[in-house]
Amino acid sequence: MERANTSVLSLLGLVILCAACNRVPPVEEYPGLAGTLLQDSIDKKGLLIAVASIEGCYAIGPPHTSRWDGNSPMQLFKLKLLIENSLQGELQTGEADVFFYLNLRVSTGPARLGVNGCGGYGGDWRIGDRKMFLLLRDGGLLRTVCDTFNTCVRPILSGKHPDLEPTASRPVDQVIVDFFLTRGAGCCTDQQLLDVIEQSGPAFLVSRNYAVHKMQDLAEHETGLVRERACMVLANYEHPCIRGLPDDKSTNHPGKQ
């Protein structure tokens, strides 16, 4: 009889544990197109900035009707991330869960959040991608600062940067630019560098002067198509390829503009 009671208690404990694992966390969707852009997030109170690779994606619970728009079904998702760099706020490196919502009715507009095919939905991210995430804490959980549309997550195509972190002499805006425009581990073929340059827009929004400085490094030290593409980008911002010419506005203090 005692063994039977022990088995029943063990089974009950397992059921309770499973129910807890499947419980939908208390995270609510944002109203409308709420979100924060990378260039607006630096030093903003409560916002976290992290670079992480994506390890998994899961739909959590069934869709529910939006609390802001009764015609929209909202689906909660959980990302499994490996946080490699914490650039702003108190955030530990290592594995972490991050939550976001997708509006399942919206099919047009900007690129969407999420891993391709995750739960039958999601954007064009893939497992293993490296991204820069804007996050906040919501009831103890980590949460993207945007829902549905991918305005608060940016791709990092330049490889892994284990030693890049803000310091007294290198503020966070410059470190962010370095992530976008400096070779890291595993980078780069010429084609990868061209992709890095094609994705350089956020760097110029965060710190135009310092982004010009880094792009001129590419224009001066690379060869072939990479140099040509870097020079084209610099021309669009009205800067020369070679640092130090009279019309080069980036020579004095390559900090945030």
CATH number at 51 reads: 2.40.50
For residues 97 and 115, what is the distance between their CA atoms, to the nearest angstrom? 14
Query: Do 136 and 209 sit in the same domain of this protein?
Result: no
Q: Is the pLDDT of residue 15 over 90?
A: no
66-70, Cβ contacts within 8 angstroms, sequence gap of 24 or more: 66/29, 66/103, 67/28, 67/29, 68/29, 68/31, 68/32
For residues 91 and 129, what is the distance between their CA atoms, to the nearest angstrom? 20
Tell me the mean pLDDT in the region 11-25.
Answer: 47
Among 134, 155, 176, identify where a domain stops. 155
Band of the pLDDT at 22, cuts 50, 70, 90? low
Contact 57, 77 (CB under 8 A): yes
Q: Is the pLDDT of residue 206 over 80?
A: yes
Among 137, 155, 173, identify where a domain stops. 155
pTM beyond 0.95, yes or no: no
Band of the pLDDT at 19, cuts 50, 70, 90? very low
Q: Is the pLDDT of residue 41 over 80?
A: no
Tell me the mean pLDDT in the region 145-152.
Answer: 90
Tell me what pLDDT residue 1 has: 52
Tell me what pLDDT residue 8 has: 41
Query: Do 43 and 90 sit in the same domain of this protein?
Result: yes
Q: Is the pLDDT of residue 208 over 90?
A: yes
Judge residue 75's burial from the number of C-beta atoms within 10 Å of its C-beta, 0-12 exposed, 13-18 middle, 19 or more buried. Answer: buried
Q: How many CB atoms within 10 Å of residue 22?
A: 9
Query: Do 196 and 137 sit in the same domain of this protein?
Result: no
10 in a structural domain = no
57 in a structural domain = yes
Q: How many CB atoms within 10 Å of residue 116?
A: 14
Q: Is the pLDDT of residue 212 over 70?
A: yes
Q: Is the pLDDT of residue 247 over 90?
A: no
Q: Which domain holds residue 56?
A: 38-155
More reliable by pLDDT, 206 or 252: 206
Among 95, 124, 155, identify where a domain stops. 155
Nearest to 66 by CA among 19, 94, 104: 104
Tell me what pLDDT residue 9 has: 41
32 in a structural domain = no
Tokens 């425009």: give the residue: 181
DSSP string, 141-201: EEEES--SB-SSEEE--S-B-TT----SSS-HHHHHHHHHHS--BT---HHHHHHHHHT-H
Please count the structural domains in the chain: 2
Q: Which residues have a Cβ under 8 Å from the Cβ of 187 and sit 6 or more positions away?
A: 157, 158, 159, 193, 196
